[in-house]
Chain A
Amino acid sequence: MSGVHDTHTERVIEVRGLRSSFGKQVVHDGLDLDVYRGEVLGVIGGSGAGKSVLLRTVIGLRDPQAGSVKIFGEDVHGAQSTQRQRFERRIGVLFQDGALFSSLTVLENVRVPLIEYYKLPESIVEELAMLKIRLAGLPTSAAHKYPSALSGGMRKRAGLARALALDPEILFLDEPTSGLDPSSAAAFDELIATLHASLGFTVFLVTHDLDSLYGICERVAVLSQGKVVIADTIERVENFDEPWIKGCFQGPRGRSAAVQAERVKHTAGAQSAGA
């Protein structure tokens, strides 16, 4: 879980020849994708390119029409339920709006995976859940609130706390910064970066947010025409010759995000040089 995340060699997710379709509409057609242990992979693509469908297929919520998905070397879709449970406790998922259970408080939400999977003394469960809530950057006072009493940003943090409950090896994030104001979005990116650096999990990030891509992703996979057209570092993706990528990265938003990322790097460099 720790110490190995600087060697990007072990494949934790292997997607091969994936084909998904809704009726006649084909979303993925022979899609291949590898995710290596410890990396932060950003998945982007136009609206309707099948990013969320890919995420749902990878975590086994949706069966593909053809192809295979392996997590930790185990086939997700062919697995028996006991096998499924084994890898389900090794992954954490943050859905778009947090997907918190609305009848439970934040603390109870975070406790759910802990008490369902492990037999633990009550005091430890409580303490551990509070730790996760604080790790996700929520104030302690939010723990006893119901999801309906939280803002969108806090709901996502609470969802993250629940996703982190079992110390997952892979964290799946579905558009974590959508619907957040720019400063909350930046704070959320920073939170993911901090946790990634300390906890060493692998991140599978589906996003629209170019700032997140520049800010925290080590590799970017671009979905287009039902395939991953390129999965590489952001610099190489930027210069890749594909119409959607060009429109995305060389449009006004792409340029400003790139400039912003450059500026952040620059000031960070200057600060460390000064210190």
Chain B
Amino acid sequence: MPSPTPPSASFDNASGTIRIAGSWTLAFVDGLARRPPKLPRAPESTRIDASELGALDTAGAMLLLQTLRGAGISGIDGAFDGLREADLKLLLLVLSRSEDTDEPSERFFSFRAMLERMGRATATFLGQGRELLSFVGLTMVNLAGLVTGRTKLRLTSTVHHMEETGLDAVPIVALLSFLVGAVIAFLGATVLRDFGASIFTVELVSYAFLREFGVLLTAIILAGRSGSAFTAQIGSMKSREELDAIAAIGLNPIELLVLPRLIALMIMLPLLTFISMIMGLVGGGVVSMSVLDISPSQFITRLNEMTEVRHFWVGMIKAPIFAFLIAIVGCLEGLKVEGSAESVGRRTTSAVVQAIFLVIVFDAIFAVFFMEVGL
């Protein structure tokens, strides 16, 4: 194949015709756009000599038509000499689609766009809060229905989710709690030893784990592990229209999908919290024994004497509430999935972020509350 010659267009004064030559293709469009061929204004009836025209594609056709329009020639039918029929068809097609009859859609930039985005974000945030509250209401009604017998408890499904969210999470919760317990004991050891008060490490670990860290750590792990799983499971069902099928068969998706997950998590999160507390104390105990020479029996006696059981209840009472938040957010985000697989991913991320956010906010509220009532 001979290498293509660059496109050109020129006005031939002698014969009064426009001559176009070379290949008008995408490869040469850059050059054409930078140095457009200059043509003098020509009368509408000027003939165009295309006998030396090489290859032509849609990009070239678009620029050729622009060039000719620049010279004042807008109608091309019958104006060409030596143009291949296929090229004429192409030119006519491009010409017929060049006229932009529709209004271009409006797009804003800069300050106005920023205001628009802020407005949207605010509206989305408020809408999210509203949706969450109404979903809480809906779930409560269905939960109450369990007592009145209007909704059924799906036992198999509930037990399945208890295994998935609870039993399967024991190793990771136990290991992480042990490590965090050990880290807190190390902190206590370094700071308290200087005051000769290293025995207080026991209280540090026990207060921290019983009141706060046990439940918080478990809730955060489950938000990432189970909350996201709820969203992904329900979301992918939604995107495959399985939820519509459930509704069309006359079943209640809340009863079928949400309640088993909610109940499972509300049972399992307190149990895991208990495991977390024990493992945190064990982690603290191991460090105390190895670094601070506090023997296990000394640790247990001190724990028994100095730490009241109310701290345990302060931590424990938060567990079902956190479980409720995580399950509700996870399921709601799953139900909000629409259409594509991309939406499932976005909702899953959103569920985890929202769940962790809510857990920490509620933990802070509880802390203030318990301080006020003197627990």
Interface set of A (CB-CB < 8 Å, partner B): 1-3, 5, 102-103, 118-121, 123-124, 127-128, 130-132, 134-135, 139-141, 143-144, 148, 164, 166-167, 194-195, 197-200
Residues A121 and B30 in contact in the complex (CB < 8 Å), given A131-B94, A144-B105: yes
Interface string of B266-310 (1 = CB under 8 A from A): 000000000000000000000000000000000000000000000
Whether the pair B89, A198 counts as a contact (CB closer than 8 A) is: yes
- Which B97-125 residues have a C-beta within 8 angstroms of A? 97-98, 100-105, 107
Find chain A residues with CB under 8 A from B105 CB.
140-141, 143-144
Find chain A residues with CB under 8 A from B107 CB.
144
Residue of B nearest to A135 (CB): B97
Residue of A nearest to B91 (CB): A198
Whether the pair A148, B84 counts as a contact (CB closer than 8 A) is: no
Whether the pair A2, B84 counts as a contact (CB closer than 8 A) is: yes
Find chain A residues with CB under 8 A from B87 CB.
2-3
A50 vs B62: C-alpha distance when bound (angstroms)? 39
A140 vs B97: C-alpha distance when bound (angstroms)? 11
Interface set of B (CB-CB < 8 Å, partner A): 25-27, 29-30, 33-34, 55-59, 62-63, 84-87, 89-90, 92-94, 97-98, 100-105, 107, 339-340, 342
Residue of B nearest to A166 (CB): B26
A148 vs B340: C-alpha distance when bound (angstroms)? 8
A164 vs B57: C-alpha distance when bound (angstroms)? 11
Residue of A nearest to B56 (CB): A2
Residues A199 and B100 in contact in the complex (CB < 8 Å), given A103-B342, A121-B34, A135-B93: no
Whether the pair B342, A102 counts as a contact (CB closer than 8 A) is: yes
Whether the pair B90, A2 counts as a contact (CB closer than 8 A) is: yes
Whether the pair B30, A167 counts as a contact (CB closer than 8 A) is: no
Find chain A residues with CB under 8 A from B58 CB.
128, 131-132, 135, 164, 167, 199
Whether the pair A140, B29 counts as a contact (CB closer than 8 A) is: no
Find chain B residues with CB under 8 A from A199 CB.
57-58, 90, 93
Contacts A140-B101, A167-B58, A199-B57 known; list 5 others, CB within 8 Å.
Answer: A118-B30, A131-B94, A140-B105, A199-B58, A199-B93
B86, B104, B339: the one within 8 Å of A200 (CB): B86
Find chain B residues with CB under 8 A from A3 CB.
84-87
A131 vs B89: C-alpha distance when bound (angstroms)? 16
Residues A118 and B104 in contact in the complex (CB < 8 Å), given A1-B57, A135-B97: no
